[in-house]
Amino acid sequence: MMFPKEFREKYIMSKTLGRFLTELCSCFSGACGEVKLAFEKSTCNKVAVKIINKRKFVASGLTDANPALNINTEIEILKKIDHPCLIKIKNFFEAEDYYIVLELMEGGELYDRVSRPIKMKEDTCKLYFYQMLLAVKVHNRSVTCWGALNYLHDNGIIHRDLKPENVLLSSSEEICLIKITDFGQSKILGEASLMKTLCGTPMYLAPEVLNSLGTAGYSRAVDCWSLGVILFVCLCGYPPFNEQNTQLSLKDQITHGKYTFIAKEWKHVSDMALDLVKKLLVVDPSKRLTTEEALEHPWLQDEDMKTTFQQLLAQTCTNMSPPETSKMPTTTRKRLHENEEEYGS
Ligand SMILES: C/C(=N\NC(=N)NO)c1ccc(NC(=O)c2cc3cccc([N+](=O)[O-])c3[nH]2)cc1
C-alpha cells in the first residue's frame, strides 16, 4: 500500500488494529477500509489511521452520486465536532485512497466487548450508554474542560450508523471513556425547508411531501432507535433482531418492533434497564424516547456513574491539550445541506 508522500513525511505506519478480516469482508459487502496504528514523527505519539479505499467505496454503492461529497461532509463533521465522547480527527489526506488520522482508542471497538462470552456488567453498560447519549443528544450546552460541548443533534447532525463497531473504548480498562466514530453515513440537517414549502399553495406539491408531514423533523430519532439496539446487545449479549429468527424476516422484525426476548439472558438485568430499552425500540419515531428523555429515565439517575464519568473526563483534561484542528487541509468541495425533513420513507 503506497501512502501519500505528505503522509509519510509526518507518520510512520505500523500494524493493523482491530478485526482486519471483518474489515476485509465488509469491503465486499460495502463499507470498506481498515484501521492501522501509526506513529506521529514530530511527537512520537501513537495515532490511528482509518484508510478508506476509494475504488471499493464507490463500487459499494454506499455513497451518494458524488462519493467525494460524502467524505468531505464526513471530514467537515469530524473537524466541527469537539466533545469528549466523539472521536477527534488529527489530519486528513486524499491520494489513491482516503487517510483519516485520528486519536488512538486503545480499548478498541465496543463490538469486541459485546461479542465476548462473558456479558458486560449492567453498571458498565450504563456508563457507556450515558456517554453515547451525551454524544448524540440535543442539550443546553454544558461547559467541560474545553468549553461548551457540541452535541451532534444540537448541530443538526444525524449519525445514522450507530452500532457497536462505531463505539470505541479509550482503554482496555472496563471503566473508561467511549467515543463515537464513523460519520460516513451522517447527514447534516438544513433549515426546515418543508415549512417554507408549505407557505405556498400545495396545488403542485407531490403526495410524498404531504405524507411526510407526520414524520417531519423526526429524522434524528433514527439514532435513538440504534442506541436502543446497542443497549439491548450490551445488556443481554445477543441482538434484538436477527436473521436466525425463522418466524419473521429481519425486516419484519424491525418494522413491527418484534425483538427476541430470551428470559434467561435478561434475568440478571434490572427492570429499569429493560424499561429504557423498550422505550427506545418503539417503531413510531414520534413516540420513541428522544436522547434528552432517555437521559431523564430512572435507570440513568445514578450519581455514582456520573461521578465516575466526570473523573474519567478530568483525567483526560489534565494530560491533553485542546484539539488543534485549524492546521488541517481544508476540504474544498461544497457540501449539500440535507433538508430537515427527508421526504417519503
Ligand atoms: C472515521 C471513520 N470511518 N469513516 C468512514 N467513512 N468509514 O467507512 C472511522 C471508523 C473506525 C475507526 N476505528 C478506529 O479508530 C479504531 C478501531 C480500533 C480497533 C482496535 C484498536 C484501536 N485503537 O485505536 O487502538 C482501534 N481504533 C476510526 C474512524
Average of per-residue pLDDT across 26-30: 49
Q: Name the residue among 135, 17, 129, 42 with its Cα closest to residue 87.
A: 135
Q: Name the residue among 246, 283, 238 with its Cα closest to residue 262.
A: 238
Distance 49 CA to ligand 1 centre (A): 7
- Residues with CB under 6 Å of ligand 1 are 17-18, 31, 33, 35, 48, 50, 52, 74, 100, 102, 104-106, 108-109, 168, 181-182, 184
Which amino acid, one-letter code, is at 227? L
Task: Indicate which atom in ligand 1 lies nearest the CA of residue 89.
Answer: 1
Distance 249 CA to ligand 1 centre (A): 31
Does the annotation count 161 as an active-site position? yes
Percent helix, percent strand, percent coil in the chain, to nearest 5:
40, 15, 45
Distance 91 CA to ligand 1 centre (A): 14
Task: Please state the separation of Cα 172 from the chain's center in Å.
Answer: 20
The pLDDT, as a whole number, for residue 192 is: 65
Lookup: cell for 200 = 405556498
Complex ipTM value:
0.98
85-118 confidence digits (pLDDT tens): 999 999 999 999 999 999 999 999 999 999 999 9
257-286 confidence digits (pLDDT tens): 999 999 999 999 999 999 999 999 999 999
| pTM, to two decimals | 0.85
Identified catalytic residue from 64, 97, 154, 161: 161
Task: Indicate which atom in ligand 1 lies nearest the CA of residue 104.
Answer: 24
Under 8 Å between Cβ of 89 and 102: yes
What's the per-residue H, E or C state across 132-200?
HHHHHCCCCCCEECCEECCCCHHHCEECCCCCHHHEEECCCCCCCCEEECCCCCCEEECCCHHHHHCCC
Q: Specify the residue with its C-alpha closest to ligand 1, atom 18.
A: 108
Model confidence at 61: pLDDT above 70 = no
